[in-house]
Structures are given as structure tokens and as C-alpha cells.
A and B are shown apart, each in its own frame.
Chain A
């Protein structure tokens, strides 16, 4: 059976038998780096194309259909164009911060990738505080966005960055509370243990209605955290031209744009890990035959399928819902999501203590 675990194990054994341990570790780091960069490039191309196709289908259009068969080379052509464009730095900008900001946003996105389990035994770094690490590092990207907005020396950029800051700071609360509700249920912060605790069923189904509520709150909060419509106030093309990346062009713009899509992938991957069981196949109670059939599907396929389902859900939101104003955005968080998720956490704790979950 196809398994990424065997491949990584055999590569590791070969490296350690051929080189000295230090050299092997450095080589492993290099391989991981290459894989991450490759994953980012592919994800950027695939997700932008997927977004455009999904948007077109929901608006009864065709979408890109001229470059390559069915338009699948459209994003590749766009990327080539962006690479060849001039990366302009405005005269009035703070040049050091302006050029640094896209890389900070990108590096923050890369760091969150570390504890995510892509398949069974295919994980960069299985730390025992995985979930805490994810929620801590994901707030670093707001520094990059604020930096980009401030350094641009442009009122649109500054407004967009400030809004983005307010938005991420508020919505991190309810995202964190819904993550904690799963930590309460599984009793661990380690990603691999959270996945293992869903052996008999995903938390979304095992935690009764409170788990479903916290899943919905998680999806809403991460949509806001990634600055996507209906919470795209940081960009707000109708008011702020492009928000914090108004002044960016060429490859630096591409990095900010890519980071947006990478962040969507990451938050959906975390959502899939916490609520939908990560790489764990769909198991239903005592149906032995059904469970064995599901085990034949490779774990990487399960993980990617769940993640892309959540990405599709977030794209569905974007092309359906009207945008919120900044005051509506904040009152949604502080008056609705936060009280509901606090009460919900209480219920989940009760369920976990009494052992009422399946």
C-alpha cells in the first residue's frame, strides 16, 4: 500500500547510514525546505485557479478557459507575468520595512506548517504543544501586514493594515476558544495525539452539537483571520483600492498574494486535523467491513480531501455572503461569537468531564 511514512523512513535511514549525523540532519533540513517551498508554489497555483473556477461556477460563468486545456495554465501564466514585472518601491516608503514585510508574512505562513500532519507519520515537527504553537505563530503574520501598511506611507495601506490588526486580534479569541474545545475533548495539545484520539470517529460527530457549533465558529473566525470576504476589510477594493498591499508590485505583491492562499490552506488543514480527524480515515463505530475499506485509501488522500473540502467551504462563503462593515465585524465577534464560544466551551468541558461523547 502507498505510504509516505515508508518513503521518509527509508530516506532517513539512507542519510544516516551514508553521512555523519550532523550532515544528515542538515541534508534533511534542506530536503524539508525544498518540499515546503515546492508545496507553497504548487498550492499558490492550484488554489488561485480553484478560486477562480469556483467563483465562475457560482456566478454562472465559465472562468479562465483560454490558457491551456480548460484554462489550467492560467495561474502559471499569471505567475510568469508577475515575475517579470518591476518590483517598485515608492519614494516616500520606509524602504527597509517595505521590502521586509512580504517575507515576514511568508515566513509566518511557513512556520505554521511545521506541526501539521500531512499523512500518517509524515510530519515535519511533532512538538508536544503543537496546537498552541500554531495559534501563537499565526498571529505573527499580522505584524507583517501592519508593517506593509505602515511602511507604504499611504493612507489606504495604513487604514487597511489597522483594520486587519483589529480584525485578527478580535477573531483570534474565538478561533482560540474553538481550538481549546477540541483540546479539552482530546486531552492533548500534540497534533499526532489529537489525530490518534479520533481513531473511532471524528470530533465533529463525537462531540454532539457543541462540537458542531465550535466547528462553525472556527470556520467563521479563520475566514476573518485570513482576511477573506465577507471579512476582507483589510483589502476592501471598493474603499481602499487594495488595502495593505496597494503599493506593492511584481514579486513582492505575489508573495503577499500567495501568503493569503497559503494561510487559507493552513487554517483549513488545522480545521481538518482538529474537527475532521486529520489523516484518519472515516470510521463508523463497529462497522468492521466499512472501516477496513476506508483504511485502504491512503492517509495523505484523506488529509488533502478534508482540507480541500474546507477550502471549498471558505470559497463558497466568499462568493455568497455580502461584506461586513468594520463596526458590524467587531460587534459580530464581541457580541455574538465570543459569548457563544465561551458558553460552548463550558458545555464541551461538561461533556468531556462526564464522558458523554461517543
Chain B
């Protein structure tokens, strides 16, 4: 008898769990407003990207064309596939001391896997991930980017 009881309860639980699944898909079927597909080229203007979407690495510049990069190369070391190359130079402070500073932030977009490790490694939050994603070009050289704008310098007070 115990066998029969187990058998019937097996069938009952199987049917109940299958009906639960059908309830979920059925409820999606009757609610077309839940559809999450975005018809991309048509809705370019009002497209909604998730907050965590990562498109490319950019360096934030303020109005005075100043950035927060000290040239410490922490991002270069963190990068798993050598996407970032930091070229440094030595600035002379007003006191006559020499100080290491960023010359060029070279970023190979064609090698980048958008893993976000460089952004997490940055001690001064100089770089961040942007949400732009239309990166296709006809020549791969156009994907080699210099992230610091020409003539920019480090913001005062950032060490």
C-alpha cells in the first residue's frame, strides 16, 4: 500500500509542478505588455539600456579639461589582455621637483572584453565604462583610442 501511495503522490506532484510551469508561460502569453524586446535600429532615440551595460572605457574630463588619472598604471596591470598602455611623462612642479604624470592613455578597443577590471583597479576613479556600443568601423586602426583629451592635465588635489 505504501508503494501505491508513493506512486499516486508522485503523479500528483508531477502534474502540479507542470501546471505551475504552464501557469507562468501562459501568464506571459496573455500579457504582451511584458515583452522586453527592443527594436533597436528603430528606437535608437528612446532605447533603454540596463545600468550595468558596458560599452567601452572612457576617461571623464571636467569643464577645465582636467582628468583624475595619475598615471599609476594600475589599470594596465589589471587588464587581462593588454588592452591598456599608459605612457607617462615627468612634469616639473613649481617647486622644481619632478613628478610622474600621464602623457597618453592608449586604449585598444578591438582587444577589450569589457571585463571592468581596469575600472575597479583605478584608485582615483579616473576611468569608467560608457554605454556607447556602435563601434563598427572599416579600419581597425580607428579602434585604437587615446582616452585623455589633447592638452588635458591632472586635476589639482588628485594624488
Contact = CB atoms under 8 A, between A and B. Distances in A.
Interface in A300-326: 316-317, 319-321
Interface stretch (B23-31, B47-55, B109-117): B23-31
A316 B32 CA distance: 16
A58 B29 contact: yes
B22 A336 contact: no
A57 B32 contact: yes
B29 A62 contact: no
Contacts of A61: 35-37
A316 B19 CA distance: 11
A340 B21 CA distance: 23
B134 interface: no
B34 interface: yes
Contacts of B37: 60-62
Contacts of A320: 18, 21-22, 24-25
Nearest to A230: B18
B25 A316 contact: yes
B141 interface: no
Nearest to A220: B18
Contacts of A316: 22, 25-26, 29
A45 to B, nearest CB: 22
A321 B21 contact: yes
Interface in B1-53: 11, 18, 21-22, 24-26, 28-29, 32, 34-37, 39
B43 to A, nearest CB: 12
Contacts of A60: 28, 34-37
A159 to B, nearest CB: 27
A24 B19 CA distance: 52
Given A62-B37, A62-B39, A340-B11, A57 B28 contact: yes
B35 A319 contact: no
A58 B21 CA distance: 11
A58 B11 contact: no
Nearest to A318: B25
Interface residues of A, number: 15
A340 B14 CA distance: 14
A321 B24 CA distance: 11
Contacts of B32: 57
B112 to A, nearest CB: 29
**Number of contact residues on B: which range applies?**
10 to 19
| Interface hub of A61, A320, A336 (most chain B Cβ within 10 A) | A320
Contacts of A319: 25
A317 B32 CA distance: 19
A54 interface: yes
Contacts of B29: 54, 57-58, 316
Contacts of B26: 58, 316
Contacts of B11: 336, 340
Interface string B53-93: 00000000000000000000000000000000000000000
Nearest to B19: A320
B34 to A, nearest CB: 5
Contacts of B36: 60-61
Interface in A63-117: 65
B88 to A, nearest CB: 49
Contacts of A62: 35, 37, 39
A82 to B, nearest CB: 26
A343 to B, nearest CB: 11
Nearest to A59: B28
Nearest to A312: B29
A148 B79 CA distance: 53
Contacts of B25: 58, 316, 319-320
Interface of B: 11, 18, 21-22, 24-26, 28-29, 32, 34-37, 39
23 contacts: A54-B29, A57-B28, A57-B29, A57-B32, A58-B25, A58-B26, A58-B29, A59-B28, A60-B37, A61-B35, A61-B36, A61-B37, A62-B35, A62-B39, A65-B39, A316-B22, A316-B26, A317-B22, A319-B25, A320-B24, A320-B25, A321-B18, A336-B11
Given A316-B25, A320-B22, 15 more contacts: A57-B29, A57-B32, A57-B35, A58-B25, A58-B26, A58-B29, A60-B34, A60-B36, A62-B35, A62-B37, A65-B39, A320-B21, A320-B24, A336-B11, A340-B11
Interchain residue pairs A-B with the least CB separation, the first 6: A58-B25, A62-B37, A320-B25, A320-B21, A57-B29, A61-B37
